[in-house]
Structure 1
Amino acid sequence: MATTLSIGLLSSFSLFAAQEVPVSPPGVKQVQNSDIARGEYLAIAADCAACHTNPATKRTFAGGYPIHSPMGVIYSTNITPSKQFGIGNYTEHQFEQAVRHGIRADGGHLYPAMPYASYAGLSDEDVHALYLYFMHDVQPQEGATPETALSFPFNIRQMMWGWNLLFLKNGAFQPDSSQSDAWNRGKYLVDNLEHCGECHTPRNMMMAQMQGKDALTGAALGSWYAPNLTADNLGNWTRDQLKQYLKTGDVPGKAQAAGPMAEAVTNSLQYLHDDDIDAIITYLKALPASLQAQPNKSIDKNGTDTNVDSQIRSTQPLGSHLPDNLSGATLYDTACSSCHQPDGKGSADHFYPSLTNNSATGGSSPNNLVSTILFGVEREVNGKQVLMPAFGPGSQVQSLSDQQIATLSNFVFHQYGNPALQVTPEQVESLRTGGDQPLLTRIAAPATLGAGVVAILIVLLLSLRALRKRRQDH
């Protein structure tokens, strides 16, 4: 039930797949007076439709969405009340076990592509409302979905018992009485319902979220990079700017949502009530700096009126074969300047964003600029679609090679963004194919199968140790 891949996996998926979204969320009075309407609002906030709706069929909640994880393709399940293909036979207890513990009705383990590690903190009332909504207001969708068949050792679902024992925190969210109601609501939304940490928190060796001082400090997300949400990064954002970004994905002169964040804005965040958006901001603004090394200046200030060239140098016809040895300037003039303008300042109405004062070009990671060029941008807010075409393989506009994208990216960074960033064709290839592989998947590859077996044994030993400690504590 989520747009993000819990185990740090989301990334080579069809990131910009168009999804059906509600026209508007239930009104405040409906949410207060009806558990079913409240459940609908919670399902929107949790972004359940994004992963459980296959854009090829557009059958809401019918599953079959292919999630291209480092371990292989995981297909989302049918969560409509179909008795044959969905969850129509689930009791409320079985539903709760799936949502908060990752246990199916048949006792099998779900993979953490379903972010149950975050949903574990959902309140009993919210789980009840979600159950009523899915059972009584969602239309049954009939038809089988593809089976998930990962390679060894990830096909052994029983291993998730050990993973859960080590990393799953059971128990509903408990408010902090020393904090305000808004802070507590914001923490609940960020950590649990909206599951922001699934993308924005780095992972340990076993691909579980790191906690404590590392929480929400930013993480590589396959081809993308989910930025630091602590004061290191958000300290120079005003509340109004954060609200505008969460509701629209666009703050001119600062940032534009792409990749998984564009999907979250399109399907979920824009529909949240203002008081929930304000609560999220209250919590995020209260997060202390993570003490990470900070760039020399704010990431959205790089490229501000420095090295900006407004001259058109030369162009090549779009759609033609472009030689690999073209300069970055020529590639920019050919593929980018008609929208972002020769000086990189974008259009006057900000529909085409400036490349200066932009977090994608001025940040400390090249991933988001490169992935934007590779995969494009698609988001829809209030019926208005924002679309940037992809320039990777198969582009309908202009297919650029890995070398060309590296050359173009380096030109943009030097001309309009953070000149310290450099991209190689090998890095572009890695991002094009889903980003760097986590250590766990590397040691479990066929070439290192022995190490994979060792990893399984380590998980089992750690699990038994954790189980023994829990029994001693009780």
Structure 2
Amino acid sequence: MRNAFAGLLSLIATATGCAHAEGLDANASAGKRLAVAADCVACHTAPGGKAFAGGYPLSSPMGVIYSTNITPSKTVGIGNYSRDEFARAVRDGVAADGTHLYPAMPYTSYAKMTDSDISALYDYFMHEVQPVEAATHKTELAFPFNVRASMIGWNALFHSSTRFTPDPAKSAEVNRGDYLVNALAHCDTCHTPRNLLMAADNSKPLAGGALGSWYAPNITADKVSGIGAWSSDEIVAYLRTGHVEGKAQAAGPMAEAVENSLQYLGNDDLKAIAAYLKQTTPIKTDEGKARHEYGQASTDELTLRGGKPEDNPGWHIYSGTCANCHQANGQGNKEYPSLFHNTATSRSDNLIATIVYGVHRTVDGVAIDMPAFGPDALFTDRLTDQQIADVSNYVLTRFGNATQTVTAADVAQTREGGPKAPLAKMAALTIPAIIVLCVLIGLIVFRSVSRRQRKGA
């Protein structure tokens, strides 16, 4: 069974359902399909840049990490990589010159990929991708994170080179979904919480994790905290389009995954992901009820119109800025989603990020856009941090999770990349701690020398 299943894995994402996708026709190679399923283009293509030429800024708790050029350029890309060197970089996070990559490159998930899939990817990048002779911005993290050799110890603690092995007790479809979720499509990278050292907490797989300004929700089979109440068809629809009426819309990193990768997978792959997620161990987190069950239509338009803005600033901002699309009662319309029964209004962090950064994804060639309203927005009415806090609290109270509140400081934190990870906070004390340690060592040496001098005298 293992040999037959390995052959199946090497053909993942080759279903005929991919043929409709722009740039991925029925004759696309296995390597190209795998690269799409792995979403390589999302992180290795800078805004407005050429595909796979790198330079995309990845925000992390340790600072901004710039993706590398992975075109077959022999000067600035991976054109000189051997097949084994390519495999080592993808699965173990070590470049051909021995430089250790940061786990912003999800090699901890890609480590599970089969040899045949790695080989097909190598052929694709070396023979089908156009070389781009453009150097990328160098990643320069603050001490101690700039010491890449520290990844040797981190990998020893948290990285496993074990390849994916199908579970004989489960169906081929569930195993296929497992491979996609936890290896090739690396869903686990975002949706599994992190421990103190920023490694995946595998005791709570897929139970939700912070992503800077955004939050990747619990996607286990729990019916309240996760997506256990979703049907398989709803999961498939969300993965392919980023939208499920009465439940959720994809924004932020998930919108990128839908736009660049998931919409192009065949129905067999999407159904396999759904089948795997539906049978995962349910993990209960802190939700009081299912994220899509909050809220109801509002009648505030009838009762608050004509009132003073200072009496209800959140409603006035909503009425003047949001109601034109989402309707005064919040129920939306055919083009714009309802704000109640919407997972985006169940968590204050994702609601803030949605308002600050907007929603942008293109599916089947159709752009789905909500403009950004943050202070850095370019083409819309800018809202201050306090105004975003006010309208967020209104939306949470009327349409979402009324137990959560937002302050202007919360909005500022979102704009700055989200809450600081404990590891980053600890690192800020590293240099002062080293200075104190050096002073203490100096004092000890001084006292020791002084004692010897006194004894000699």
Provide TM-score, normalisation by structure 1.
Answer: 0.83
Summarize deviations over 1:378-410 as a string: whole Å, max 9, x none.
000000001101110132211111111111111
How far is the alpha carbon of 1:265 from its aligned partner? Answer: 0.3
What secondary structure is seen at the aligned counterpart in 1 of 2:140?
coil
1:93-104 matched pairs, under 5 angstroms: 93-104=84-95
Correspondence 1:75-154 to 2 at 5 A = 75-154=66-145
Contact kept in structure 2, 1:308 and 1:416, CA below 8 Å: no
- 1:234-284 C-alpha deviation (Å, 9 max, x unpaired): 111011111110000011111000000000000000000110101100000
Structure 2 gaps of 5+ residues are 1-19, 437-457
Take 1:56 and 1:152, find their aligned partners in 2: how far apart are those partners?
A: 31
Name the structure 1 match of 2:342: 358
Q: 1:182: which partner in 2? A: 173
Query: Which AA in structure 1 matches 2:253?
Result: P
Aligned-partner SS, 2:180:
helix
For the residue of structure 1 that corresponds to 2:272, the secondary structure is helix
Could you tell me which of 369, 390, 393 is aligned with 2:375? 393
Corresponding letter in the other structure for 1:73 = V
Q: Look up the match of 1:327.
A: 313
Q: Deviations over 1:282-332 (max 9, x none)?
A: 00000121133441x322121134x5434385599xxxxxx9886111010
Aligned-pair CA distance for 1:198: 1.1
Match of 1:378 in 2: 360
Deviation at 1:66, TM superposition (A): 1.6
Pair 391,312 (structure 1): closer, same or farther in 2 beyond 3 Å: farther
User: Contact between 2:39 and 2:257, CA under 8 Å: does it hold in 1?
Assistant: yes
Task: In structure 1, give the amino acid aligned to 2:212.
Answer: G
1:176 Cα deviation after fit: 0.6
Q: Tell me which residue corresponds to 2:45.
A: 53
- The structure whose Rg is larger is 2
The worse-fitting range, judged by mean Cα deviation, of 96-105 and 396-405 is 396-405
Distance 1:451 1:377 in 2: 42
Aligned 8 A contact 2:59 2:212 in 1 = no
Which whole-Å deviations, capped at 9, do the CAs of 1:160-209 have from their partners, x for residues lacking one?
A: 00011100011210111111101111000000111111111100010000
Contact 2:375–2:385, Cα closer than 8 Å, also in 1: no
The reply to whether residue 234 of structure 1 matches residue 227 of structure 2 is yes
The offset of 1:155, in angstroms, is 0.7
CA separation of 1:421/1:99 partners in 2, compared to 1, >3 Å: closer, same or farther? same
Contact kept in structure 2, 1:54 and 1:64, CA below 8 Å: yes
Tell me if structure 2 keeps the 8 A contact 1:313–1:333.
Answer: no
Query: What CA distance in whole angstroms lies between the structure 1 residues aligned with 2:256 and 2:128?
Result: 24
Q: 1:70 touches 1:438 (CA, 8 Å); kept in 2?
A: yes
Shift of 1:428: 1.2
Task: Return the alpha-carbon distance in structure 2 between the equivalents of residues 452 and 272 of structure 1.
Answer: 50
The one-letter code of the counterpart of 1:227 is P
Paired position in structure 1 for 2:395: 412
Q: Is the 8 A contact 2:90 2:107 kept in 1?
A: yes
- Identity, in percent, stands at 51
Which residue pairs with 1:246 in the alignment? 239
**Greater relative contact order structure (CA < 8 Å, 6+ sep):** 1
The offset of 1:86, in angstroms, is 0.6
Does the C-alpha gap of structure 1 residues 179 and 427 become closer, same or farther in structure 2, counting only changes over 3 Å?
A: same
Query: Cα RMSD over matched residues?
Result: 2.1
How do residues 237-316 of structure 1 correspond to structure 2 at under 5 angstroms?
237-295=230-288, 297-305=289-297, 307-311=298-302, 313=304
The residue matched to 1:215 in structure 2 has which SS? coil
Deviation of the 1:56 alpha carbon? 3.0
Letter in 1 for 2:409: E
- Rounded Cα–Cα distance in structure 2 between residues aligned with 1:176 and 1:25: 31
Q: Tell me, what secondary structure is at the counterpart of 1:336?
A: helix
Deviant stretches of 4+, over 6 Å: 323-326
8 Å contact 2:296–2:340 — kept in the other structure? yes
The question of 1:42 aligning with 2:34 is answered yes
Quote the Cα distance in structure 1 between the aligned partners of 2:137 and 2:376: 26
- TM-superposed CA distance for 1:116, in Å, is 0.3
User: Following TM superposition, by how much is the alpha carbon of 1:415 offset from its aligned partner in structure 2, in angstroms?
Assistant: 0.9
Q: Distance in 2 between matches of 1:52 and 1:413?
A: 36
Q: Distance in 2 between the 1:129 and 1:55 partners?
A: 27
| CA–CA separation in structure 2 for the residues paired with 1:198 and 1:453 | 36
* Runs (5+) with no aligned partner, structure 1: 1-20, 32-36, 317-322, 455-474
* Aligned-partner SS, 1:421: coil
1:471 counterpart residue number: none
**Amino acid aligned to 1:438:** A
After TM superposition, the structure 1 = structure 2 runs for residues 201-216 of structure 1, keeping only pairs within 5 Å, are: 201-212=192-203, 214-216=204-206
Which of 219, 229, 241 is matched with 2:209 structurally? Answer: 219
Distance 1:163 1:449 in 2: 20
Q: CA distance change for structure 1 residues 312 and 248 in 2, over 3 Å: closer, same or farther?
A: farther
Q: CA deviation at 1:73?
A: 1.8
Tell me which residue corresponds to 2:161: 170
Q: 1:324 to 1:89 in 2, by over 3 A?
A: farther
CA-CA distance at 1:146 after TM superposition: 1.4
Q: Does 2:65 correspond to 1:74?
A: yes
Equivalent position amino acid for 1:377 in 2: V
Superposed CA offset, 1:136-172 (max 9, x none): 1111111211111111111100000001110001121
SS in 2 for 1:134: helix
CA distance in 2 between counterparts of 1:188 and 1:286 reads 14
Matching residue's letter, 2:351? L
Amino acid at match of 1:183: V
